[in-house]
Amino acid sequence: MRYLKLTIAYDGTDYVGWQVQDNGITVQQRLEEGWTRVTGEKTRITASGRTDSGVHAMAQVCSVATQSDLPPATLVRALNAETPYDIAVLSVEEAVPGFHAIRDAIEKTYCYHVQYGRIQDPLRLRTSWFVPGDVDLNQMRDAAGFLIGEHDFASFEATGAERKSTIRTVTRLDIESEVLHGLPGLKLAITANGFLYNMVRNIVGTLIRVGRNQNEVQWVQWVRNQKDRSVAGQTAPAHALFLQQVVYKNDLVSD
């Protein structure tokens, strides 16, 4: 048996998420169909995270066990020929035996794009959340400081999706100005050792309230300490969220 690490990018607009399901077409379904046409195998391709409907990925990492002896470069070319235009296989690498995209991940980064102001940018409709009016980035940055480190993020987990533990460690939470086509926006990038369901989108919705002066900076600390989803901000829309990077130990990929 041979283990491979695939890195893929996709526009999630037309998919009901990563994971195969009955209510629509998914990224996993299309990638596995392409794999079958290329290798003749029907196999499960596992992604590092099951992105939701409408969520995009810049560098989703997948693992697959295969009997195919096709070289990585050949697999890249063939898979890209057999998958839709909105899914791209960026690389295929040999991995150590037993490599698993979920279990072996040590860190992930998601980014979220917000466009704000009086005019909505029609060229960012699929990739940014439009927030009318002004947003104070400095206020948001100050509030974000309360979310860095090891904390219980239960206030930012979607209701009904409880995990065994809601404690996670956020190592970075950066908010940068992002001006495109002359219209203002921001990019929020968050890195952690793991994420709860809708955690990033709920954090964004909470910080935006601070940026719009609807709540004080210290309110975010209070929200975090309540461990209650109902006290936090809204869930930001899915279409502006991107899985940006997944980090693994260096020794998981074979030379």
d(CA 147, CA 144): 5
Residue type, 248: Y
State the catalytic residues. Answer: 52
CA 181 to chain centre: 25
The structure tokens listed for 239 are 């279409």
Count of Cβ atoms closer than 10 Å to residue 54 Cβ: 18
Q: Which of 252, 237, 167 is nearest to 13 (CA)?
A: 237
Those residues whose C-beta lies under 8 Å from the C-beta of residue 54, and which sit 6 or more positions away, are 12, 13, 15, 237, 238, 239
Give the DSSP letter of residue 51. P
Q: Long-range contact list for 124-133, CB < 8 A, 24+ apart?
A: 124/180, 124/181, 124/185, 126/11, 126/13, 126/239, 127/56, 127/239, 127/240, 127/242, 128/185, 128/240, 129/204, 129/236, 129/237, 129/239, 129/240, 131/208, 131/212, 133/212
Read off the tokens for 13.
């607009």
